[in-house]
A and B are shown apart, each in its own frame.
Chain A
Amino acid sequence: MTQNVSVDDDMARDLLEEMLRIDIFEEETKERFGEGEIPGFVHLSGGHEGSHVGMGAAMRDDDWLAVGGARLIGQYIAKGVPLPDIMAELYGRVGGSNKGHGGQMHVSDIDRKLYGHAATIGSGQNPAVGLGLAEEMKGTDNVAVTTIGDGGTSRGSFHTALVFAAYWDLPVVFVIENNQWAISTPSESLSPDSLSDYGIPHNMPTESIDGSDVEEVYRAVSEAIERARNGEGPSVIESRVVRLVPHFEGDKETYRDEEEYEQLKEEKDPIGNYRERLLENDVVTEAEIEDMITNIESEVEEAVEFARESPEPEPEAAYDHVYRTPLYGQGE
């Protein structure tokens, strides 16, 4: 059945392009990691692209994003961090967004109001509440959007953040990307019917949506942001997605049912589905999509070149940024 397109053509093309950008960037990341060029470990976003991009499109540049969950890189891209800054950070190089101090889990870009990620899953939501408080104190109508995975909702810190946001009606949008797996623990074993139900006792508006549909995410997050901007307080959205990739590169996924997995790949691939939808509605042509892909591939190639050419940090840089010195009054 053909689904209609609910946004204008330009925006629809942008949404598709941004999802393709995440996909192509991450495919390259996987390759570079496999070749040993990227240190540490890498979690990819496959299946989450619609959720990331719909959310990013719903935000203004001045809204904060506090990234959570384990699918991170796509969210950085959706917040508008330039690809070379991200890639160089994955490489741990000086040209990276965080000068190599952060890596995959800690890309931040304060000028673009990307707070970054709390690598201990579920600890980013209280800082997001603080970001919402700061905007309110400063009299802006900016909001803080914060993401978390299904696994992270089991942390007390997540529930505390709901309590605090509700206590002062702060402009915070909690997005739970439920991809059904906390590594190997299925989210269906958690009690709520929808994980957005965790907002109910706090009298927050809650909604559970198909997060593999980029337009649906854009609509729901836009509505929640609008409420927050208008002083109507926090919301909780469950964005139901499918993790179409391993938890991290190297995870053999022995815990998944292969047949069901194959079927989900068919049904819930946000990029493939949206591509079909735009083609069927004559929003784009195959040739236009091919052009997009070619352009993105060269952007990604440039990002890799930038990362490779960016120097390794000097060892002494390890001592930078521990403290801002002099401390107050020191040496006076």
Chain B
Amino acid sequence: MTREITYVEAIAEAIDEELERDDDVILFGEDVEEFGGNFGETEGLYKKHGRDRVRNTPLSEIGIAGMALGAAVGGIRPVAELQFADFAATAGDEVFNQIPKQPYVSGGQIEAPLTIFAPSGAGIGAGAQHSQSVHSWLGNVPGWVVVTATTPYDAKGLFKSAIRDDNPVFFLPHKMLSETKGEVPDEEYTLPLGEAAVEEDGEDVTVVATQLMFHRAKEAAAEVDADVEIVNPRTFAPLDTETIAESVRKTGRLVVVDETVERYGTQGHIANEIVENDFFSLDAPPKTIGVKDIPIPLSPPLEQEALPSADRIADGIESLF
């Protein structure tokens, strides 16, 4: 049986169920108690689980991320929220140098089963420092498992797995999708990390897309005169290249759309994996589409100019035929 819930409800359910299931799980971040998170993603959790398990922190991402690392090494499973993905940069040393590297430099002695989650993405007119998609920053540092969510089903199943995984996981919901609704099973479930999902079957072209771009890719697919297969990577690091390659072997064409900046973004990496390893399965050069090489502007028409639109994606698909 399934029921329809919103993306933020799915997130709150995931945390709630994991707090319930495992005494070692705790949630902390700015304004996660009564306030319930900026998008309602932690609503009700504090009342239900109490202040030991759900804790407001002082305003410092350095403290949140650094404390999460120590707490995880000390044997608990912290789930730490940053209010916006952009703020990962304010805890740069913790996010880039400490968390992903301490398990490695310890020769595998240190286990850091922590999850940091942070709403990412543009589209609500939040400006250049509240709108970035940071999975290419994080994916560039081996040691992080980097996960995004596209639907409420994804959000709940992947978040629960992130909390249970023994690696440091950076989980990135998309703020534009907060109120989108979708079917979620009544019973308990998890989704595998590190595995891409073929969301729509098609024969003519593979489009790799996730989060908001997945929804735009679906619009684009309806516009074009081609049978589009859509692959949702779900986990950006490590990346399930095999599922993407398998799809391209079938379709012969590849478009990668992602909400990271085109310059050194995820699109180029994914396309390169296919070019290097599956070149002869391609009938046309791969097409990459991402955020223009500019900071995200505030004014809605400017912001939409920066982001891939359904039309840009449709043009990209058509350019391969």
Residues of chain A at the chain B interface (Cβ within 8 Å): 64, 66, 96-103, 106, 108-110, 115-116, 118-120, 123, 125-135, 137-138, 144, 156-157, 160-161, 163-164, 167-168, 320-324, 326-332
User: Which of B66, B67, B105, B235 is A123 in contact with, Cβ under 8 Å?
Assistant: B66
* Chain B residues touching A, range: 35 or more
Contact A116–B71 (Cβ < 8 Å): no
Contact B109–A157 (Cβ < 8 Å): no
Chain A hits for B165, CB < 8 A? 324, 327-328
Contact A323–B69 (Cβ < 8 Å): no
Chain B hits for A99, CB < 8 A? 107-108
Question: Which chain B residue lies CB-closest to A155?
Answer: B93
A selection of 29 A-B contacts at a CB cut-off of 8 Å is A98-B105, A101-B105, A108-B105, A108-B110, A116-B105, A120-B97, A123-B66, A123-B93, A126-B62, A126-B65, A130-B71, A130-B72, A131-B71, A133-B67, A133-B76, A134-B73, A138-B74, A164-B60, A320-B107, A321-B108, A323-B143, A323-B145, A324-B103, A324-B111, A327-B145, A328-B165, A328-B193, A329-B190, A332-B192
User: Which of A102, A123, A131 is B74 in contact with, Cβ under 8 Å?
Assistant: A131
Known: A324-B166, A331-B192. Is A161-B63 also a contact (CB below 8 A)?
yes
A127 and B65 alpha carbons, distance in the complex (Å) = 8
Question: Which chain B residue lies CB-closest to A122?
Answer: B93
Chain B hits for A323, CB < 8 A? 143, 145, 167, 238
Chain A hits for B191, CB < 8 A? 329
Asked if B316 is an interface residue, CB under 8 A from chain A, the answer is no
Known: A137-B76, A323-B145. Is A127-B93 also a contact (CB below 8 A)?
no
Name, among A64, A163, A167, A323, the residue most crowded by chain B CB atoms within 10 Å (CB to CB).
A323
Known: A156-B62, A323-B238, A330-B193. Is A116-B68 also a contact (CB below 8 A)?
no
Contact A66–B70 (Cβ < 8 Å): yes
Question: Which chain A residue lies CB-closest to B26?
Answer: A137
Asked if B78 is an interface residue, CB under 8 A from chain A, the answer is yes
Known: A127-B70, A129-B70, A322-B142. Is A137-B106 also a contact (CB below 8 A)?
no
Asked if B102 is an interface residue, CB under 8 A from chain A, the answer is yes
Chain B hits for A126, CB < 8 A? 62-63, 65-67, 69-70, 94
Chain A hits for B287, CB < 8 A? none
Asked if B104 is an interface residue, CB under 8 A from chain A, the answer is yes
Chain B 28-72 interface mask (CB, 8 Å, partner A; 1/0): 000000000000000000000000100101101011011111111
Shortest CB distance A209–B (Å): 26
Chain B hits for A110, CB < 8 A? 73, 106, 109-110
A81 and B244 alpha carbons, distance in the complex (Å) = 47
A124 and B309 alpha carbons, distance in the complex (Å) = 44
Contact A102–B106 (Cβ < 8 Å): yes
Known: A134-B76, A157-B93. Is A129-B67 also a contact (CB below 8 A)?
yes
Chain A hits for B111, CB < 8 A? 324
Shortest CB distance A294–B (Å): 33
Known: A130-B68, A157-B66, A329-B193. Is A98-B76 also a contact (CB below 8 A)?
no
Contact A144–B63 (Cβ < 8 Å): no
Asked if B161 is an interface residue, CB under 8 A from chain A, the answer is yes
Shortest CB distance A292–B (Å): 31
A108 and B142 alpha carbons, distance in the complex (Å) = 20
Q: Which of B108-135 contact A (CB under 8 A)?
A: 108-111
Contact B70–A116 (Cβ < 8 Å): no
